[in-house]
A and B are shown apart, each in its own frame.
Chain A
Amino acid sequence: MKLNTLEDEALMERVRDFDDRAAFAEIVKRHQKIILNFYYRSGVQYDCEDLVQKTFLRLYRSRQRYKKSAKLKTFLFLMARQVWIDELRKRSRMQNLKKEFQSESQDYAESAIGISDARLDMEKALAQLNEEMRLVVELGVYQGLPYAEISEILSIPVGTVKSRMFNALKKLRVFLEGQ
C-alpha cells in the first residue's frame, strides 16, 4: 500500500489523525490543478496560485473537522469557496468585481498569443454570469459533481442548484449564439 494508491478519503484521514504531511502532499499533487482552474475560470488571472495555496492551507488547518464519510473533493471545494469569499471581501470590491475581472480578462486576452478563439469566447461568456451562476457551472459542469454535493458545498437546496444551472446555461447559449 503506497500513498499514491490510497483513496483521497484515506489520505485525508491520515492527515487528520497523524498529521501525515506526506499524505497531505499527495492530496495537493492530486487536486492542485482542479483548484487552480477553479480560480482561473472564476476570472482570476494573475494570482491563482496564491489562492490555491490559501485553499490547501485552509484544508490543512481544518483537518480535524474532516469526517471520512464526506468526500474529500466536496470538503476541498467548501474550502475553495470560503477562500474565494474571503478574497472577494478582502479586496473590498464585491460591487465592481465583475467589471474588473472582465477588463482583466480582456487585457489578458488581448496580450495573449496562441489562445484559441473558442477559449476566449468562452471566457467572455463565463464572465457574463454572476458569481452564483458561475459557481454552479464550475462545480456541475467542470467538476462533474452531483447536484446533491453542489447543494452541500454552496449551502443551497438542490432545486436552487437546478434553477441556477438552467439560467446559467441559457445565458451562456444566448451569449455564444450572438457572437
Chain B
Amino acid sequence: MNVITHINQFENAKDVEAFKGLVQTLRSLPEIEPSAYLTQRIMNAVNDDGNSQKDDMFYRSSRNPSLKPWLGAAAAAAVVLALFVFRSVFITQMHVANSTLSDNEEWLARFQEVDGSWNPARHGGAKVYQPALTALSALALYQAGSDYLPQVELACNYLQKIQQRNGTFGGEGRESFYNQAIVTFVLARTTVNATERDALQLACSAITTAQTVEGGWDYVPDSEGNAAITSWQIQALAAARDAGVPDLDVSIKKGLRWLRSVTDDRGAVSYKRDSRQMSDTVSALTAETLLTAGADFPELSTAGHRVVEALKNKCSSSENNDLYRDCMSVRAFKSAGEIDTVALLKKRVFASASTADDDQWGKVGGRLYMKSLYSLTRTF
C-alpha cells in the first residue's frame, strides 16, 4: 500500500479527490539543489573517516593517559623508530606482492575470451569446468575493483547464455554440481538487473531440485550428500536469497541441518555421514557455510566457530600446496573474525607463490584457477 491506494480507500469521494489533489500539489513543489561541491565534500569526509579508522589502533595507544610524559615520549620515539623500520620492510614486501597480485587481475582481463568466458583448456585446465572457472574469474575481477566491471558484465552475459532450460550450466555428474553451485553463487554476488535475477531464480530451481530428501547434495547415486558440494550449494542459495530470490529458506535450512549433522563437537567435519574421510578444504567450506548462511542460528554459528578452531590448529602444519584449501580457509577465518590468522595465512600463501604444476588442483584448473584463486585470496 502507498499513499494513493490509501486515499482510494477513503469512503467520501470528495475527500478522495481533495486529498489526491493535495498530494499532487505537495509533490509538484520545486526542490532545492545541492551545491556543486557537495559530493566532493562528502567523499572527502568519507575518505578521512576511512583512513582514520585504519589508524585508530595507533592513535588509541599513543593517547594512553596513564603514561607519564617521559615514558610517553620514549614510547612515541620507539613507535616512530619501529614504524620507520616496519615501513621500509613493509613497503618493499608490499611492492613485490602487489605487483604480483595486480598481475593476476591483469592476466585474467587479458585472457578473457571474446564471448566473455575463460577457457581453462587453453591454460592447462579441464574444459568441463569452463562455467565454474569463468564464474570464479569474474568474481575475482568483481572483487578487485571498479576497473574490471566491463569484463564482469561480459562474463555474466556468457553464463546466462549457456544456461539451459532446466537452469543448469553444463557438465555431468561431479562437474555439473560444481559448475551449478559456483556459477549460481557468483551470479548472485554480481546480480544487478531483472534479467540476471531470472537466470538466478532458474539456477536456484535446479539446485533445490537436486537436493536429497535428507537435505544434502551429492553427485554420487544413492548418497544423501557430501559436505563439500553441500556447502557450495547452500552458499549459492543463501547468496541468491540475499540477492532477492524468494522461497529458498526451507531448502537452505534443510541443507544446514544436514551439514550440521556431519560436524562433531570437536569441530571435525566428515565428508559424509557414514564416513571418516576428512579434509581441511571440506572443513573450511563447512565452517564458512555455517558461519554465514547459518548466521541467524546461534547453534550453527557456534558449530562453525568450533570447526574454525580445529582448522586453525592444523593450518600451519599443511605440507602440500593447495590454493583452493587456503583460499576457502581465508574466507572461513575472516567470517569467524580471526583476523590475525587471516593475515598469517595470506602471508604464507603469497610467500609460497606455488604454481599450477605443484598445486593439488593445478591439473584440474590450470593457470586460470591459480590466477583467480590468488586474486580471491587477497580480496576475500
Asked whether A32 lies within 8 Å of B22 as measured between CB atoms, the reply is: no
What's the least CB distance linking A152 to chain B, in Å? 14
Say whether A24 faces chain B, with CB atoms less than 8 Å apart.
yes
**B152 to A33, Cβ gap below 8 A?**
no
Known: A28-B43, A32-B42, A165-B3. A52 touches B242 (CB 8 A): no
User: Which residues of A are found within 8 Å of B32, using beta-carbon distances?
Assistant: 36-37, 40, 48
- Among B27, B34, B143, point to the contact of A17 (Cβ < 8 A): B143
Q: Which residues of chain A are within 8 angstroms of B361 by Cβ–Cβ distance?
A: none
Is there a chain A Cβ closer than 8 Å to B367's Cβ? no
From B44-52, B121-129, B159-167, B273-281, the one touching the partner chain is B44-52
Chain A contacts with B in 1-53, Cβ cutoff 8 A: 1-3, 5-7, 10, 13-14, 17-25, 28-29, 32-33, 36-37, 40, 48-49, 52-53
A52 CA to B45 CA, complexed, in Å: 12
> A141 and B45: CB pair below 8 A?
no
B241, CB-defined interface residue at 8 Å: yes
Per the bound structure, the CA–CA distance linking A21 and B35 in Å amounts to: 21
Q: Tell me the chain B residues, 1-60 only, with Cβ under 8 Å from chain A.
A: 1-3, 6-7, 18-19, 22-23, 25-27, 29-35, 38-39, 41-43, 45-47, 49-50
Report whether A32 and B149 are in contact in the complex, using a CB–CB cutoff of 8 Å: no
Nearest B residue to A5 by beta-carbon distance?
A: B192
| Choice from B38, B150, B242 contacting A2 with Cβ under 8 Å | B150
Contact B2 A140 (CB under 8 A): yes
B242:A67 contact, CB within 8 angstroms = yes
Is A153 interfacial (CB-CB < 8 Å)?
Answer: no
Residues of A within 8 Å of B45, CB to CB, are 53, 56-57
Residues of A within 8 A of B39 (CB): 25, 28-29, 32
Contact assessment for B46 and A56 in the assembled complex, using a CB-CB cutoff below 8 Å: yes
| A-contact 0/1 string along B218-241, CB 8 Å cutoff | 000000000000000000000001
The reply to whether A165 and B6 contact each other, CB–CB distance below 8 Å, is: yes
Contact present for B153 and A1 (CB under 8 Å)? yes
B7, B38, B190, B241 — most chain A CB neighbours (10 Å): B38
Q: Does B191 sit at the interface, judged by CB under 8 A?
A: yes
Instruction: Indicate whether B379 reaches chain A with its CB closer than 8 angstroms.
Output: yes
- Inter-subunit contact B46/A118 (CB<8 Å): no
* Chain B CB within 8 A of A179 CB: no
Q: Is the CB of B43 within 8 A of A1?
A: no
* Contact with A52, one of B38, B190, B192, B193 (Cβ below 8 angstroms): B38
Q: Are B43 and A32 in contact (CB under 8 A)?
A: no
Residues of A within 8 Å of B50, CB to CB, are 19, 21, 60
Distance between B21 CB and nearest chain A CB, rounded to angstroms: 9
What size tier do the contact residues of chain B reach? 35 or more
* A68 at the B interface (CB under 8 A): yes
Which residues on B sit within 8 Å (CB–CB) of A40?
A: 31-32
Check A144/B46 contact, CB under 8 A, given A1-B150, A29-B39, A52-B34. Answer: no
Residues in A whose Cβ lies below 8 Å from that of B25: 118, 122
**Contact call A3/B146, Cβ cutoff below 8 A:** yes
For the complex, is B243 an interface residue (Cβ under 8 Å from A)? yes
- Cβ distance B18 to chain A, nearest Cβ, rounded Å: 6
Are the C-beta atoms of B2 and A61 separated by less than 8 Å? no
CB distance from B29 to the nearest CB of A (A): 5
B69 interface hit (Cβ, 8 Å): no
Closest to A145 in B: B2
Contact indicator B243/A57 (Cβ below 8 Å): no
Q: Mark A110-131, 1 if CB is under 8 A from B, else 0.
A: 0000001011001000000000
Additional pairs, 12, CB under 8 Å, beyond known A32-B38, A32-B39, A53-B38: A2-B149, A21-B47, A33-B34, A40-B31, A53-B42, A53-B45, A119-B29, A142-B26, A147-B1, A147-B6, A158-B1, A162-B6
In the complex, 24 of the A-B residue pairs with CB atoms within 8 angstroms, ordered by the A residue number, are: A25-B43, A36-B34, A36-B38, A49-B34, A49-B38, A49-B41, A52-B38, A60-B46, A60-B50, A68-B242, A69-B243, A69-B244, A116-B30, A119-B29, A122-B25, A122-B26, A137-B26, A141-B27, A147-B1, A148-B1, A165-B6, A169-B23, A172-B22, A173-B19
- Which positions in A face B, CB cutoff 8 Å? 1-3, 5-7, 10, 13-14, 17-25, 28-29, 32-33, 36-37, 40, 48-49, 52-53, 56-57, 60-61, 67-69, 116, 118-119, 122, 137, 140-142, 144-148, 158, 162, 165-166, 169, 172-173, 176
4 interchain residue pairs of minimum CB distance = A1-B153, A1-B149, A10-B192, A68-B242
